[in-house]
Amino acid sequence: MAIINRIAEFQPEMAEWRRDIHKHPETAFEEERTADLVAAKLHAFGIEVHRGLAGTGVVGTLEGNGDGGGRAIGLRADMDALHIREVNEFDHRSVDEGQHEGRMHACGHDGHTTMLLGAAKYLAETRNFGGTVHFIFQPAEENEGGGRVMVEQGLFEQFPVEAVYGLHNWPGAPVGSFAVRPGPMMAAFDIFEATVTGKGSHGAMPHQGVDAVVTAAQVVSGWQTIASRNTNPFEAAVISVTQIHGGEAWNVIPETVVLRGTTRSFKPEVQDEIELAMRRIAEGVCQAMGASVEMRYERRYPATVNSVAETEIAAAAAVDVAGPENVDRDPTPTMGSEDFAFMLQAKPGCYIWMGNGSDEGDRRLHSPHYDFNDEALPVGASYWARLVETVLVK
Ligand SMILES: [Zn+2]
Ligand SMILES: [Zn+2]
């Protein structure tokens, strides 16, 4: 593997940063300690620091020592943790108190932040490129759309770039491997809530009421026909009801039942179809049963779609670091989602997966057993550095 030597030298230092961040997890828009740490390191490397976009967002700006003709690119890492209580026992396990209580870096954003810092350190030392790199450290990737907020607050007006690049670790793929494809990599993510209202009654006398439980159950079943009967079988669609709330007693039929969940799709047309069909089925079933329904459907993240030219550039940088045999150019997309999608809606760019080693012992993303693999740190940092040196040629 062609890890950059200088980056390999400070792998132990990067592992220390990563473990420090891991130990102090912060969730959406509360990444204050993490942002302080990122800003202090960038500053120490001699990189211009800008703070405040989306609250805790940090952007570092570095010029190369060659004439880039005004060219610039953005590299993005995410800083937030999850509301998960860690079960690992190692020394750098999450501090479970104060603002860190019940939180954990279970998605490896501690590693992502560290790898981009590692690349920043190397690039600030060498400046072996022409043009400008913006190191973008975003808050709130999980659920709350910190990337969207940065874009809305003028990220690319303040820091104009021709393209933006993102990276995510992938447990179960070997360290030193990458996977990337043009087109969709990850799905659009929507949420829904349906409040079914019937007429509450005695559990022994259902004829005196309108049963919201039975009605809601039919709505759930009806929705499951959307992916099998309505959308094109060649287009991916997932509808998952993840919560059913209703009732408190053994012998009372409740007046209301609330259904919540998520949908996933890759194309806006499919997303439209899912929403329309969900509303039609919920309203139709409830009307047939003599109940009523109030439905909320909210679009959260669009699909993460890589542009063709930038995917070639990213794949070439990955091949430079890992060798062609270790770069999968046609991975199966996943129905997971990413708020880097908002940056890719604003600018061309590419999102790549990087192997994080074995996922044995349940070391999967969002598991309380997860830990980012420190051996992957120099791989990701070298990828970022190579990407900059190859795109922004002097
Ligand atoms: Zn995650
Ligand atoms: Zn993540």
Q: What is the pLDDT of residue 394?
A: 84
Tens of pLDDT, residue by residue over 87-140, are 999 999 999 999 999 999 999 999 999 999 999 999 999 999 999 999 999 999
Percent of the chain with pLDDT over 90: 97
Q: Is a pLDDT exceeding 80 seen at residue 294?
A: yes
Tens of pLDDT, residue by residue over 224-275, are 999 999 999 999 999 999 999 999 999 999 999 999 999 999 999 999 999 9
Closest ligand to residue 143's CA = 1
Q: Distance, CA 126 to ligand 1 centroid (Å)?
A: 33
* Reported confidence tier of residue 327, pLDDT bands at 50, 70, 90: very high
Q: Distance, CA 372 to ligand 2 centroid (Å)?
A: 11
Q: Is a pLDDT exceeding 80 seen at residue 208?
A: yes
Structure tokens at 226: 């959307």
Percent of the chain with pLDDT over 70: 100
Q: Is a pLDDT exceeding 80 seen at residue 182?
A: yes
Q: Is a pLDDT exceeding 80 seen at residue 1?
A: no
Q: Distance, CA 246 to ligand 2 centroid (Å)?
A: 32
Q: What is the pLDDT of residue 299?
A: 95
Q: Distance, CA 315 to ligand 2 centroid (Å)?
A: 20
Q: Is a pLDDT exceeding 90 seen at residue 2?
A: no
Tell me how far apart the alpha carbons of residues 41 and 21 are, in angstroms, rounded to a whole number.
Answer: 13
* Residue among 146, 109, 111 nearest 28 (CA): 146
Closest ligand to residue 110's CA = 2
Q: Distance, CA 68 to ligand 2 centroid (Å)?
A: 32
Q: Distance, CA 286 to ligand 1 centroid (Å)?
A: 35
Q: Distance, CA 108 to ligand 2 centroid (Å)?
A: 6
Q: Distance, CA 77 to ligand 2 centroid (Å)?
A: 10
Q: What is the pLDDT of residue 11?
A: 96
Q: What is the pLDDT of residue 300?
A: 94
Q: What is the pLDDT of residue 285?
A: 98
Q: What is the pLDDT of residue 69?
A: 86
Q: Distance, CA 379 to ligand 1 centroid (Å)?
A: 20
Tens of pLDDT, residue by residue over 135-163, are 999 999 998 999 999 999 999 999 999 99
Q: Distance, CA 335 to ligand 2 centroid (Å)?
A: 13
Closest ligand to residue 340's CA = 2
Average pLDDT over residues 265-289: 97
Tell me how far apart the alpha carbons of residues 95 and 105 are, in angstroms, rounded to a whole number.
Answer: 11
* Reported confidence tier of residue 72, pLDDT bands at 50, 70, 90: very high
Q: Distance, CA 123 to ligand 1 centroid (Å)?
A: 28
Q: Distance, CA 388 to ligand 2 centroid (Å)?
A: 23
Q: Is a pLDDT exceeding 90 seen at residue 303?
A: yes
Residues with CB under 5 A from ligand 1 (ion): 107
Q: What is the pLDDT of residue 4?
A: 87
Tens of pLDDT, residue by residue over 9-44, are 999 999 999 999 999 999 999 999 999 999 999 999
Tens of pLDDT, residue by residue over 360-382, are 999 999 999 999 999 999 999 99
Q: Distance, CA 81 to ligand 2 centroid (Å)?
A: 9
Instruction: Name the residue with tokens 């439905």.
Output: 295
Closest ligand to residue 113's CA = 2
